Structure 1
Amino acid sequence: MRKNYIYLISLLLIGTSCGKQKTVETKTERVIAITTTTSVEKKYSPSIDFTGTAFANKEANLGTTLPGRVEKCYFIEGQKVNKGDLIVELSSELYTQALIERNTLEKDFDRVTRLREKGSVSEQDFDHVKAMYDASVAKTQMLKKSAEVRAPFAGTIVDYIVQEGENFFFAPNLKPGYSMTSGIVQLMQLDVLKVTIDVNEKDISKIYIGQSADVVFDAYPEKRISGKVKSVDPTLSTLSRTAKVEIQINNNDLLIKPGMFAKVKIFLPEQNAVFIPFESITRQSGTGNEYVFVIESDIAEKIQITRKFSVENLIGVDGLKPGVTIAVAGKNKLSNGCKVRIGK
């Protein structure tokens, strides 16, 4: 009886053991099917975007050193002038008076010159008359120049601040957006423009004279204009913590007008970067952190990355080496350390 009881217990233990073994043997590890891509290293030209405003490359309110009445305007608004062209002529009673004095002294100088040749006048008297005549010539030239307004550079007549027949007196120009200098006529160089942007302290060290830039204006969104950085302010504003930077562009067709709003892209020196497809990036909900799953020996590892820029459908990132295998399709099913099967 006792032997039979021991035999039954032995059979029960063997059966239980076999059942457990069968359960372990039937339990299989989950393998997730994915497709992959490889991170690549490529050269690229990074850029920084800004907004700015167009201004004339050169601008001047032209006037004279002496007051007077505007006698003649030789050009109309919108007309181009060359450097040295006479734009405005003023009346000058002082010039007329000086011209009479010069003519009188010229006759005296001619007379003493003839007497000097005959030895009938002393060198001291001759030098005195000559000095007076030379001074009158210089005075006449100065007063004549003071009655004329000539173009200091080639440009376009933008506005007559004083019209024909009006008297010109020095007074500050309070017209918004223009020079505060008093003048008779406003001249601008419009075939070349400068676009002024504000660059913050974080980016100013990346900007230098001669740097390439692309400029697009809202008025002509399909027209991309190439330019160069012309100047960089050496100091920052204490209010905005930005520095003024000027980009020079050609405007031969005169389509772009001063005051237009511009979008500027300044290109930085070419460098290498690691690129991955946009589709391989996953964003962690609630944090904004982005990561990818790197596959090695059929095991997925979650790696956080930082976007730097985008080129077409590729994203330049920090945090990865080139040549790394990355999950694409099926990445949303993965977790750190899970096993994968790479498909086509």
Structure 2
Amino acid sequence: MRTIKYLTLSLLLGFLTIQTSCNSKKDSNSANKPAGIKQLVPVKTMTVKQELITRYIDFTVSLIPFEEVHLAPSSPGRIEKINVEIGNNVQKGQVVATMDRTNMEQAKINLMKLETDFRRLDTLKKTKSIADQQYDQVKSSYDLAKNTYNFLQENTQLKAPFGGVVSGKYFEDGEIYSGSPIAAIGKPAILSIIQINQLKALVNITSNYYPFVKEGMKAEVSCELYPYMNFNGEIYKIYPTIDNSTKTFTIEVKILNNNLKLRPGMFSKIMLNLGKGNAILVPNIAIIKQTGTNNMYIFVNKNNIAVKKLVKTGRMFDDKIEIMEGLANGDEIIVVGQNKLENQTPIDIKK
């Protein structure tokens, strides 16, 4: 029995000696390995090149009237008659409301008297039977009376400046118009008129597309309420400045609405065909979104080092996406293994 105990103890001591020797070799190897060398991360890459594409961009917008006016006289007064109701169609130049005529009628009487005097003196002037000073005084009075009458006439008879639809009525016959703003629109008005046989949309576009957008460019407009219909649009105004905070610029798109199916306030989709051009396309999988931000970046190979580059993206093309900024033609990007990388990580490029 004692012999067995001695044998077991000998075996245990031998095992501990071997284990200690192995650990010493491991420590020796670790000590001899240079510090600071990162392990190479295996990746696959591709070289980007420009491709010919047709650029489309689309936006969801709320339609607004092509023109809108809030009609009001230039001074307070009693409303004699309002000739229209909300929803009525009006023609350009149609009298839609009439203010109290008292001042206008008085101005008309005064104008007629001065016109008679002026014509009489005008005849005398031709025969040089009147002094120039007297003639000039009467002419000045006549011109002033004519301007006063025209002003009062314009502000007594309110006319539609364009054909459209009455969208707001804020007073009734006989009420006093005070000139105070109407709460609903923030402006003084008796009536509001909108033009809807044409509509428009304000579209904010990222500044990268500024070189491609031109006045007169056609737009395709669609609306969920009419899934099988398209409406014709056209860019008719491009704002000249870029918003520094949003890096966007604004365009106005005019939309034909002769069938009156579209209405202000409807949400619609506007698609612009910006034509053909060269662009850099990369696989979607190469794009990495930075956590907690909207920043997109791609890893680029620089002498077997992964360099993180911020990019701006454009439209999707199947399984590829357009790169608007951040890459150049010929850059070698990492398309496999990029999720394991950090900036300046050494890489091992696999075929």
> Do they superpose with TM above 0.5?
yes
Native 8 Å contact 2:216 2:234 kept in 1: yes
Native 8 Å contact 1:307 1:315 kept in 2: no
Pick from 220, 226, 238: which aligns with 1:214?
Answer: 220
Q: Secondary structure of the equivalent of 1:268?
A: strand
User: Structure 1 pair 100/263, CA: closer, same or farther in 2 (3 Å)?
Assistant: same
Q: Secondary structure of the equivalent of 2:146?
A: helix
Pick from 146, 155, 177: which aligns with 1:168?
Answer: 177
Q: State the partner residue of 1:223.
A: 229
Q: CA RMSD in A?
A: 4.1
Alignment of 1:279-294 (within 5 A): none
Q: CA deviation at 1:42?
A: 9.9
- Which residue identity is paired with 1:235? T
Give me the TM-score of the superposition, normalised by structure 2: 0.60
Q: CA-to-partner distance for each residue in 1:39-90, whole Å, 9 max, x for gaps?
A: xx99753201211110111111111212222212223322222222222111
User: Structure 1 pair 133/241, CA: closer, same or farther in 2 (3 Å)?
Assistant: same
Q: Structure 1 residues 103-112 or 220-229, which shifts more?
A: 103-112
Q: State the partner residue of 2:147.
A: 138
Pick from 236, 244, 247: which aligns with 2:242?
Answer: 236
Q: Structure 1 residues 218-227 or 127-136, which shifts more?
A: 127-136
Q: Write the distance in 2 (CA, Å) between the matches of 1:61 and 1:194.
A: 18
Q: Write the distance in 2 (CA, Å) between the matches of 1:143 and 1:212.
A: 44
User: Structure 1 pair 273/162, CA: closer, same or farther in 2 (3 Å)?
Assistant: same
Q: Structure 1 residues 233-242 or 248-257, which shifts more?
A: 233-242
Q: Write the distance in 1 (CA, Å) between the matches of 2:179 and 2:85.
A: 22
Q: CA-to-partner distance for each residue in 1:4-54, whole Å, 9 max, x for gaps?
A: xxxxxxxxxxxxxxxxxxxxxxxxxxxxxxxxxxxxx99753201211110
Pick from 150, 155, 177: which aligns with 2:159?
Answer: 150
Q: CA-to-partner distance for each residue in 1:143-185, whole Å, 9 max, x for gaps?
A: 112212112222222211333222222223432xx5x432221
Native 8 Å contact 2:171 2:190 kept in 1: yes
Q: Write the distance in 1 (CA, Å) between the matches of 2:247 and 2:315.
A: 24
- Which residue identity is paired with 1:200? T
Q: Write the distance in 1 (CA, Å) between the matches of 2:91 and 2:272.
A: 33
Q: State the partner residue of 2:100.
A: 91
Q: Write the distance in 2 (CA, Å) between the matches of 1:197 and 1:245.
A: 5
- Which residue identity is paired with 1:203? Y
Alignment of 1:248-327 (within 5 A): 248-271=254-277, 309-310=316-317
- Which residue identity is paired with 2:158? V
Q: Write the distance in 1 (CA, Å) between the matches of 2:264 and 2:157.
A: 27
Pick from 52, 56, 68: which aligns with 1:47?
Answer: 56
Pick from 69, 72, 82: which aligns with 1:60?
Answer: 69
Q: Write the distance in 2 (CA, Å) between the matches of 1:225 and 1:154.
A: 21
Native 8 Å contact 1:195 1:262 kept in 2: no
Q: Structure 1 residues 138-147 or 127-136, which shifts more?
A: 127-136
Matched, 1:76 2:85: yes
Q: CA deviation at 1:121?
A: 5.8
Native 8 Å contact 1:214 1:226 kept in 2: yes
Q: Write the distance in 2 (CA, Å) between the matches of 1:109 and 1:136.
A: 11
Q: Write the distance in 2 (CA, Å) between the matches of 1:262 and 1:84.
A: 32
- Which residue identity is paired with 2:54? S
Matched, 1:182 2:188: yes
Native 8 Å contact 2:203 2:252 kept in 1: yes
- Which residue identity is paired with 1:56? P
- Which residue identity is paired with 1:240? T
Native 8 Å contact 1:273 1:316 kept in 2: no
Q: State the partner residue of 2:11.
A: none
Native 8 Å contact 2:57 2:315 kept in 1: no
Residue identity over aligned pairs, in percent, reads 26
Q: CA deviation at 1:256?
A: 0.9
Q: State the partner residue of 1:198.
A: 204
Q: CA deviation at 1:94?
A: 2.2
Q: Structure 1 residues 193-202 or 98-107, which shifts more?
A: 98-107
Q: Write the distance in 1 (CA, Å) between the matches of 2:169 and 2:284.
A: 62
Q: CA-to-partner distance for each residue in 1:276-311, whole Å, 9 max, x for gaps?
A: xxxxx9979x99xxxxxxxxxxxxxxxxxx996447
Native 8 Å contact 1:66 1:147 kept in 2: no
